[in-house]
Every structure is written in C-alpha cells, then in structure tokens.
Structure 1
C-alpha cells in the first residue's frame, strides 16, 4: 500500500461545499475512502481557532477521526477586514513532508497550490492527489495533480 499524507484546507472545503451543495463535507467518508487504498501516515487539518462551542466540537471530531488539527487565530483588523489564512503554513508542511510519503493528498480547490504541487512532484517525485468541488476548484490545480477526487454527494453529509 502506498503511504500518504493528507492535508486539508478546512476553510476552503467548508465554503466550497456550502456554496456548491449547501451541505457539509464528510471527513469520516473521506477517511474511509482513502484508507481503503492507502496507508495514512499523516493527516492534518488546517482551521481557524474559535471560542464557538460548535467549532471546538468540530475540531474534536476531526481529532477523533485521526487528524492532527492545526489552529490559527482569526485576526480582525482595525479597518474591519479579517485574516485567517493557512496557505503558507499548509504549503510548508506539505513541502517538508513530501519526501517521507509516496503520495500527498491535498484537499483544497485553491489554485495558488499549483506551484506547490508541481514543485513536490519535481523535487521529490512524490505523487499528488487533489480533492475539491469541481466547479470551485482551479483548473490549473486539477491539471497539475496526478489524480483528482471530485467532492460530490458521496463525500457530503445529509441530503
């Protein structure tokens, strides 16, 4: 079995599944799907910390599934704008992990990750699978990946 490292851009997954389907992503279904074909060596979910009890419960659920949850504070700027982005931290972790597994599984539709995908393929000869909502995943990211998993009703909670 190939060894994999899973990296989830939680904010991207939340907003894209909500926008496209009005439903939530099923992390248990993802884990079950991937563990049928791969040995999961590393699983990290990148999220924004919160004092909201539902968000904290969600983070505990992710941990219970097997994810190492990485939290970053939500920053409210003086001008009213907000920042809560994990892109750089996620990219660094992927890059530092890429040489220790056979495949990286990146759960995000963010086209900014195209350069990361291409770099780890070239430098480490590590395969990359991208998963995302088809209509909201950047085409350049899909094309750069070795494989693509479309998030559809099989990976969503509810009807």
Structure 2
C-alpha cells in the first residue's frame, strides 16, 4: 500500500513516483466512472492503467495515486473484483475499497471517499495539483473548494462521461478518447468486463 511517505521512495524507470522538485501531484481514479464508460464504448478493449498513471503525472512528482472503488463480496467473503484491483495495484495505484452503504449493494460512499481523500491531501499541503480521473459532475463542488485552497484541479475523462459543470470548473481537462493518453488492448473473451 502506498502512503504519503513511502510513495516518494518508489523511484524507477517508468514509475510516476520519482523524486522531482516540480509540482506535487495527487492522482485519484474514480474506478466505476471510468470502467463503466469504457465497458459501454470500448467493450472489447482493456485499458492500460500503468500508462494512464504515467501520462497523468507527466513527469511531475506523484505524491500518491489512489483508485477508489466500491467493493462487492462473493459468497465466500472475497472481493468479486480482486483480480482487477490487483491489476490497479500493479499499475501503481493504491486501491481504496468502499463497502456498499445500503442493503441493495449500491456504492454510495465512493464519491464521498474521493472528496475526503482529495481534501485531506490539499489541507495537509501535500500537493499542488489534484488530478481527478472521472467525469462525475458531483465533484464540481470539490473542485471549487480545492481551488479556493490554492490547489489546481485537472480532470481526465471520456467525453461522453464528462459533466459540463465539472468541465467548466476544472483548471485543465483531458479527454481519454481524443488523445493518446491510454493504450487500449484487446480483452480476452473469458475475461469479460
């Protein structure tokens, strides 16, 4: 697990966790927001999350990269998406799993967790920029609050998933389907979504 302190020690070629005297970046990936759009638009592809992280940090100092997702358990009490969550960890993301917040299994706490994490790093003065990988308009208020704290907020999203209000508030917007930000790979048929 990457923490604020140990993430800076993960230097290496191709790693976003390199020492750099430049801007300090916190990357937060809204997993379901991105993967649901990917499944709808690119059903037979697989996103390269390692490349996404490298391109998002763009040679700046990555304080931490966090992928926030809801967790669903199978009948044996195991995370249903454990293989995918392991893939995110291997790509350099710290995974934060939020349990379902109601009896229908809906993952309502994910957005709250993302907002709390972004605020935490900003208020502790651990970052200059928050890179949000989401298109969810619910984060418009978060963006405004972070900007009032002097933190720039960039958004990366699929165009069809990007809220107009989030697009208008963000300091910079990158569109996943318009630029070569990620390498899309074919999924194997047995893998599914």
Which band: TM-score by shorter chain? 0.7 to 0.9
* Aligned equivalents of 2:176, 2:83: Cα separation in 1: 23
* TM-score with structure 2 setting the length: 0.72
Tell me which protein shows more strand as a share of its residues: 1
Partner of 1:118 in structure 2?
144
Greater Rg over alpha carbons, structure: 2
Tell me which of the two structures has the higher relative contact order, counting C-alpha pairs closer than 8 angstroms and 6 or more residues apart: 1
Q: Any gaps of 5 or more consecutive residues in structure 1?
A: none
Partner of 1:148 in structure 2?
173
* Aligned equivalents of 1:55, 1:67: Cα separation in 2: 15
* Aligned equivalents of 1:76, 1:115: Cα separation in 2: 24
Work out whether residues 4 and 104 of structure 1, in 8 Å CA contact, stay in contact via their aligned partners in 2.
yes
Work out whether residues 72 and 105 of structure 2, in 8 Å CA contact, stay in contact via their aligned partners in 1.
no
* Aligned equivalents of 2:163, 2:183: Cα separation in 1: 20
Q: Which runs of 4+ in 1 moved over 3 A?
A: 50-54
* Aligned equivalents of 1:150, 1:117: Cα separation in 2: 17
Partner of 1:103 in structure 2?
129
Partner of 1:157 in structure 2?
184
Give, in angstroms, the shift of residue 54 of structure 1.
7.0
Q: Any gaps of 5 or more consecutive residues in structure 2?
A: 1-21, 187-193
1:158 match: secondary structure:
strand
